[in-house]
Amino acid sequence: MPPILSTTNLGKTYRSNNQSVDAVSEVSINVGSGEFVALVGPSGSGKTTLLAMLATLLESSNGTIAVDGYAFDQMNAKQRARFRREKIGFTFQDNNLVPYLTAIENVELMLRLNSKYNASTSTRAKDLLVRLGLQDQLNSLPSQISKGQQQRIAIARSLIHDPRVVLADEPTASLDTQRAQQVVQIFADLIHEENRAGIMVTHDLRMC
């Protein structure tokens, strides 16, 4: 079975004052259905730059990226934006929840932005939160729950629109070890069960 996400000799070079710096150099990876891969490295090693390229937020200097065989370098800016909105899910170090929306409203927001909100997708939002152990916090505001619970809401939000690829940038950095490991395990289980491709960047070897 071909991989969902693949890169070949991917690189990003920044140039300034007649000097060049390779932030990412010759990265070739394949991530298949149900796989959750961790990219580990210290701060400044290019992890976030790589993730930004995989998310179509940053153009590469060389190499190729493809999701389900669709090559990013064959898309124009509008096509990339639509592809990102429909096929890629994100979870960030700072969960970026809307503070005045409840847990379920934060998850449903992605559906509303994509004009995909209906009774069926609303049920899926609730089901995801229940699967993540948040059945008692559906109507809670972010300020009323723990950081670990907030991050689980962010995970549900990243999965709600049925993406093929899910990208996580240091999703456990603000959590203690026990909560961090729980969040990573839940994330990995959902990606495997729903046949997605997942990549997490982290500097924390405990999460691998």
Q: Is the pLDDT of residue 132 over 90?
A: no
Residue 32, Cα to own-chain centre: how many angstroms?
15
Q: How far apart are CA 29 and CA 8, in angstroms?
A: 7
- Do 157 and 105 meet the contact criterion of CB atoms below 8 Å apart? no
CATH of the domain at 82: 3.40.50.300
The CA distance from 205 to 208, in Å, is 5
DSSP 22-76: EEEEEEEEEE-TT-EEEEE--TTSSHHHHHHHHTTSS--SEEEEEETTEEGGGS-
Q: Give the mean model confidence (pLDDT) for residues 65-76.
A: 91
Of the two residues 46 and 65, the one the predictor is more confident about is 65
Residue range 65-77: mean pLDDT, rounded: 91
Helix (H) / strand (E) element for 168: namely strand 165-169
Closest by CA to 31, choosing from 58, 10, 45, is 10
Q: What is the mean pLDDT of residues 23-52?
A: 91
Residue 57 in this model has a pLDDT that exceeds 70: yes
pLDDT at 208: 62
Is residue 105 pLDDT above 90, yes or no?
A: yes
Residue 103, domain extent? 5-207
Return the sign of the alpha-carbon dihedral for residues 36, 164, 8, 171: negative
**Average model confidence (pLDDT) across the chain:** 88
Domain count, the chain: 1
